[in-house]
Structure formats: structure tokens, C-alpha cells
Amino acid sequence: MQYAILLKQGEIVLKGQNRRAFEARLEANVRRAVLPFGAFDVYSKQSVVYVTPQAGADAPGAFEACRDVFGIVSLSLCAVCGKDMDEIYETARQYLEKELTAAKSFKVEARRADKAFPKTSIEISQDIGGRLSDEFPHLAVDVHNPELTVKVEIREEAAFLHGNPALGAGGLPVGSSGRAALLLSGGIDSPVAGYLAAKRGLSVFPLHFFSYPYTSNDAKEKVLSLARRLTRFGLEGRAAIVPFTRVQEAIAKGAPDELGTILTRRFMSKIAEAFCGKFHLEALITGENLGQVASQTLQSLAVTAQNIALPVLRPLICYDKREITEIARKIGTFEISSLPYEDCCTVFTPQRPATKPKLERVLAAEKKLPFDELVAEAVSAIEVITFS
């Protein structure tokens, strides 16, 4: 049996004159997602992306990969046959036999994109629906709320048949909204923030701060595992590692203990901004969540971002922990994040961190540190790891 995958576009259909640019980006992302499963032709027509396998390609495997491609609202693995009513019926009977046997009610919904086809959409629905009723007499016809909808699409090249579509990932195609750096820790929050940013069309480059020997190589590998996992959703297939030990040691030795966390975050922001300039990224993404810890009060967030010009995107700012954890489980990062390896944010943690830091006091403490020198040294030593 021949197969094809139909991907229904989501928000893209609301775009105006730049809609084709979004479609082109979506097509490129789909090609990348299905590449491990063989050769496919990918093209858009009438708000649908068609993914047709060439000889030897794994269409079911490609279909599963397309579930995680942002920009798609629903998707269907279709059986493809000739535009003959007998062939259409026989293909529907065979391809959807399991669904037709399990369902209690159904309807046939036909769409005739090829206006040269001799039957109208209503006639196609009545013909195929009548035959299926005879073949599966337990099925009740319900045109308003059927358990199973058999869809028949008559297009110029062939007839496409499928059952109820699967839910797509939604959002916008990755890369259609620009590029940004994700401050990726080993915790639960930041991977979810990267996922949500990618869902809004951002191409996301993970950036991790590593403080060896206070944080181990196991901790580093944990973060790289998170970055690899996120490539499934279109994040860039590489991650950057910032050597952060000297910065944290300097803060611990030369700054008031209660300001240690805020100063650490300010160094991170400045290093990340320089990294963005080097790799042509337009924003920072963090997993910060309002009120969750001392560095995430309104006052702390304002002081943290005061020293950079880039926009800071905080997708999780108003989520609660239960919501974040649910998403982490859904995208497969929760188990990795739960591995018991330390993170640089837990190194030299103050006993009583400031929750309402004054900018003047933070700036005064910062002046006593070789700030620019430490930032430049860290940026120059950033390691970029590319995944196969």
C-alpha cells in the first residue's frame, strides 16, 4: 500500500504577504525531521504540507517524527490510491479496518480538490459511506459527532484516505521568529523554556555555564543530554559550554555573601550577551519563574538584566511548578533533569541571599571585581559542541 503524510498548517494560514516564507521554513524543518527515515518529497498546497515517500522510505517512522515539528496543527498518515470509486472504497476498507471495527459510529467526509473528478464531494461521501455501512453493519452513521471520520481527499495526483487526524505540535516553524541563546542548566525549568521558545518559532542555541571541579563532568554530560533531547523539537544541533569557575571563585572571595547569586546572574547575562553577538543571536532565553527563588523576585530580575541591551525572554515567568513539570514529562526532559548531578547555580550559594537587591550596592560590589577581564576570558574559552 502506498502512503503519504498530510500536515495541516496552524497559525501560518493567518499570515499575509509573508506567508510563503513561513511555509518554506516549515517545509525545510519537515525535511530535516524525516531525513533519518529515507527520501521524501515535501511541498505545500492549499494550507497542507504533503510528505510523500520515495521507494524504501519509512512513512510511519516519518509520521511519528512530524508530530514534534512546530507549525503543524494536525497530521494524518494516509493511504494513497487511484481516483476510481471501487479502488477508493477497497483502500478505505483495508486501511481503516481496525478503526472501523472498533468504532461505534462514523461518517465519511469527502473533499474534491480536483474539480474534474466526475462525482461531487457529497456523492463521494454517500457512495463510500453506504458501502462501508454494508461491510461494517455494527456502525451507526452520525454526521454530527462520529467516533470515526473517514476522510477522502480527491486531489489532482491521487486519492488520499485517512481516519481521525493526530494532534500536531502547534506553534510556528522553528527559525521563523529569529535566533536566541538559551541559558540551559541541568534543572527542570530551562529545558522547558527552550521548548516553549522554539514553539514560538525561535531557533534556540543552548548555552551552559560549567564550573569544574565544583561541578563534575557527569553534570556537564547531563546538560548535553538535555540539549540533544531538545533537538527533537528543532533546537540547534549544538551546545556551547562556558568555563565559569574563575568567575564564581572571584565572586566568592571579593563580594558580599548575600549578593553572590545576583552577581553570578549578572556575569552570566553579560557573557551570554557577548556570546550572542559572536553567533548573531538576537535574544536570551531563561527558565526564570517569578518568585520561585531569591534571584527571581521582581527586584532581582530587574537588577540581573540591567547591564545588557538584549531582550531577555522568560517563557515560564507565570507558570507554576506543576505546569512546568507536566511539560517536562511530556517532552522527555524530566527524567534527565532529575539525575542527581550538581549545577553551577548551586555552587557558593549564599545562606541568606538578597531578595530585594539595591542596584547601587550591586554596582559598588561589582566595581571591586575584575568584571570585564573575567567576562572576556570566559567568552574567549567557550567550547561549542556539535551533535551528530
pLDDT tens digit string along 371-387?
999 999 999 999 999 99
**Confidence band (pLDDT; 50, 70, 90) for 291?**
confident
Residue 348 pLDDT grade (very low, low, confident, very high; cuts 50, 70, 90): confident
Mean pLDDT of 18-37: 96
Arithmetic mean of pLDDT, 274-286: 97
* Region of poorest pLDDT, from 240-244, 311-315, 349-353: 349-353
**Mean pLDDT along residues 56-63:** 96
Give the whole-number percent of the chain exceeding pLDDT 70. 99
The predicted pLDDT at position 295 comes to 83
As a whole number, mean pLDDT of residues 301-330 equals 96
Output the pLDDT for position 69. 98
> Distance between CA atoms of 229 and 28, rounded to whole angstroms?
20
Q: In angstroms, rounded to a whole number, what is the distance separating the alpha carbons of residues 350 and 327?
A: 30
Torsion angle of alpha carbons 255, 261, 264, 265, nearest 10°? Answer: -140
Tell me: the pLDDT tens digits for 139-176?
Answer: 999 999 999 999 999 988 899 999 999 999 999 999 99
Residue 79's beta-bridge partner residues? 3, 161
- Residue-by-residue DSSP string for 100-128: HHH-SEEEEEEEE--TTSSS-HHHHHHHH
Q: Which pLDDT score is estimated for 292?
A: 85
What is the pLDDT averaged over residues 40-60? 94
pLDDT over 90 at 46, yes or no = no
Longest C-alpha distance within the chain, in Å? 85
Q: Is 101 exposed, middle or buried (0-12, 13-18, 19+ CB in 10 A)?
A: exposed
pLDDT recorded at residue 350: 76
103 to 8, 76, 134, 167: CA distances (angstroms): 24, 18, 15, 19
Query: And the C-alpha cell for 92?
Result: 478505505
Q: Which domains does the chain have, with CATH numbers?
A: 2-169 (3.30.2130.30), 179-386 (3.40.50.620)
Specify the pLDDT at position 132: 98
The residue with greater pLDDT, 181 or 305, is 181
CB 183 within 8 A of CB 268: yes
Q: What is the pLDDT of residues 9-18, one digit of tens each?
A: 999 998 988 9
Tell me: pLDDT of 342 over 80: no
Residue 110 binned pLDDT confidence (cut-offs 50, 70, 90) = very high
Cell 465519511, located at residue = 108
What is the structure's pLDDT at 340?
83
Percentage of the chain lying above the pLDDT 90 cut: 90
- pTM, to two decimals: 0.92
Q: What's residue 311's pLDDT?
A: 97
| Confidence band of 29 (pLDDT split at 50, 70, 90) | very high
Mean pLDDT (the chain) is 95
